[in-house]
Amino acid sequence: MTTTAADRPFTVLDVGGTTLRVGSYSPATGRLSGVRRVPVEGMALDPDAAVPVLQERVVEQIVREVDRHGAGAVPRAVGVAFAGPVTAEGLVVAAPTVWGRRGEPLPLGALLGERLGAPVTVVNDLTAAAWRYAATETAPFCLLTVSSGIGNKVFLGGDVLVDPAGHGGELGHWVCDPAPDAPLCDCGGRGHLGAVASGRGVLAAARRAAAADPAGFAASRLAALCGGHPDTIGNPALAKAVGERDAFATEVLRGTLVPLAQAISAVFTAIGVRRFILMGGFALAVGERYRTLLAQELARQGCFGLTADRVDALVSLGAPDDDHGLLGVGRLLSSRAAAMDAHATAPERRPTR
């Protein structure tokens, strides 16, 4: 069977705080192939490097991975799901989990288009992931990620609600703790939801709790999983302990879910979205237990106008994989290509006299 230009796959990337993923997305089948995962050459590998240095390294890494993936051939089109607010023109406004403090905005779309010689679309990683679920969801929804940071996107009326300047969907930077000594966010601010309730935030809270209550920690399942010392607590052990209903680890998590539930309640109350899909490495690692505890906290706080069973139904878990950004940006590229094809083949309408 002959492969036409329209059937050629797109090259898709997902650039997160710790991992860069690259693969091919087939618009004909909606499937991924040849996915490769490598550590992002950002602050996770070199926390002391200056922002401009990290920005340059990440750009070079993306170019290198695209060339490697396509064996040097010019790709049909490139889609990049990026961890940070992105404007409609592909300007990365900030990337707290990739290069830390704000620095200068990075024109990633323009830089990659020039270097790769192909059309490049850059969108926020949650914007991309929302397009994955838009293919199957029939009602408006809010996609919420809990991983190294926290972010959200609302899909309503056939598109993601994002301002052209990149604003919207950054619940992780809502100030939920105004105390001067509140946890420090990767962006440099204090008391942001992402610093308190993300995977990193829960880990920091667990270490503080273990140091403050050594006897309680020593008797916990969490201590047995991580060698009994607060400094050795890691997210895998923490997720496992919560999943096994360890009282110490569960109590730590419950504390971080209070502001997260407040944020979800605010979104629900403000715009009436009644479906929240959870994704992200930490939330999915804990799994159903995370969803249950969050729903319980939502019910405790109360969602105006909803009964307890309807509050429980608000939250569901996303797909248990890390392909959200890749599939989503591939579907976004497919949608845009189909729209362009439809426009190109539409009959010309002549003005009536």
Summarised one tens digit per residue, pLDDT across range 43-60 is: 989 999 999 999 999 999
For residues 276 and 335, membership in a common domain is answered with no
DSSP 8-state class, residue 69? H
Count how many domains the chain has: 2
User: Mean pLDDT of all residues in the chain?
Assistant: 91
Residue 326 falls within a domain, yes or no? yes
Lowest mean pLDDT among 109-123, 219-233, 330-344: 330-344
Assigned domain for 348 exists: no
With residue 143 as reference, give the H or E element that holds it: strand 141-146
Instruction: Provide the domain limits for residue 332.
Output: 5-125+322-342
Contacts of 10 (CB under 8 A, 6+ apart): 24, 25, 27, 75, 76, 77, 78, 79, 330, 333, 334
- In-domain check, residue 79: yes
Specify if 347 maps to a domain: no
How large is the average pLDDT for residues 297-324? 92
Average pLDDT over residues 95-109: 89
How far apart are alpha carbons 348 and 129 in whole angstroms?
Answer: 35
3-state secondary structure of 123: strand
Q: What percentage of the chain exceeds 70 in pLDDT?
A: 94
User: Is the pTM above the cut of 0.75?
Assistant: yes
> 197 with 266, same domain?
yes
Residue 147 lies in a domain: yes
Query: How far lies 310's CA from each of 158, 304, 327, in Å?
Result: 25, 11, 30
173-196 residue pLDDT tens: 999 999 999 999 877 899 999 999
Length of the chain: 353
Q: What percent of the chain has pLDDT over 90?
A: 78
Cβ-based neighbours of 277, under 8 Å, separated by 6 or more: 133, 137, 141, 142, 143, 144, 316, 317, 318
